[in-house]
Amino acid sequence: MLNKDSKIYVAGHHGLVGSAIWNNLLSRGYHNLVGRSHKELDLTDQVAVRSFFDEERPEAVVLAAAFVGGIMANSLYRADFIMQNMKMQCNVISEAYAHGVKKLLFLGSTCIYPKNAPQPMKEDCLLTSPLEYTNEEYAIAKIAGLKMCESYNLQYGTNYIAVMPTNLYGPNDNFHLENSHVMPAMMRKVYLAKLMHDDNWTAIRRDMDKRPVEGIDGSADNAAIEQVLAKYGIYNNKVVLWGTGTPLREFLWSEDMADASVHVLLNVDFSDIIGIEKYSSVHFGAATDGAVDRNHSAGRGGAIPSLGEIRNCHINVGTGKELTIRELSQLVVKTVGFEGTVEFDASKPDGTMRKLIDVSKLHSLGWTHKVEIEDGVQRLFDWYQQSLQA
């Protein structure tokens, strides 16, 4: 059981979700938090991760760090998406176990589910048919991560929980056009197209200085800025978006995701998920000297025939609500105050056509979302504009 003095390591605490989890923990009175930037700690470096755990010895770990991006980034950097994520997960989870961490929360993604999974997607549809090709590597890495948590629990009696959030958006979102997700990319494109129509080059240059595109910042001349923005479908009073606009997507405000994550971290144990009381009263391998007995594996659910097969122990986190990409664009257009045109390029990929998750397990564990999409889009645009002034 964690208390207000427990040392909690949040990996990825500067990111979209990690920063929100950090702030949520602080708001609940958990002040003994540990974070390292990527420059301070490269999670793909096994020796560096081990040294960090030797030094800090956290009681709990939130693994929110990941190598992420949208369809374009997933297509261009396939090797990076599987290797970087696998290295980070293996290093953090193995060192957490070696150093006796009491509780670990692993954050994945609902892209783990098959491309043609029945909708809404329940946790038990995992690995039932092929994945969406455009994000296959990232999905495989995240599946491996949740299976690591599940397997450590079954073999060593640990208490590692995996949560799979739907599409997230919110403060500290990534608005860089080359590798951002659908909502922030769409919002920035619409905003810049509006500024071009308004001939507001001061604001355009401020935006480009804050987040250069392919090395082009606000110091470039108008023609160079227009040329690079056109590559991303941004024109004077017109925006061109990828795909047909028909795919359905579910979106969750990142601070809601953080609240759900902290709720699970503090209140949900592995035994709650698999429905077995006193699954493991001792976290085997949690030796105070960092040594572990890898042959001692009480609590091995998979080794007890009467329990059957224990799998799909992860938890979906979302709203259970969806809208089309076209409807999202209309909401963004209204929020930004854009009066131009939005076109869809059907020659570009749509990705998975529908990705709605079943959140009944999460609801049964005592949490539901609070921020609806209309309010969330306005909040995101407000944050984005404020970020340009910083």
Distance CA 390, CA 386 (A): 7
DSSP 152-190: HHHHH---EEEEEE-EEE-TT----TTT--HHHHHHHHH
Give Cβ neighbours of residue 205 (< 8 Å, ≥ 6 apart).
217, 218, 219, 225
C-beta separation of 31 from 268 below 8 A:
no
Distance CA 348, CA 351 (A): 9
C-beta separation of 310 from 150 below 8 A:
yes
The token pair at 217 is 């910042």
Of 138, 152, 169, 191, the active-site residue reads: 138
What is the separation, in whole angstroms, between the first and last Cα of the chain? Answer: 39
* Known catalytic membership, residue 235: no
C-beta separation of 174 from 180 below 8 A:
yes
Distance CA 76, CA 99 (A): 36
C-beta separation of 180 from 70 below 8 A:
yes
* Positions marked active-site: 138
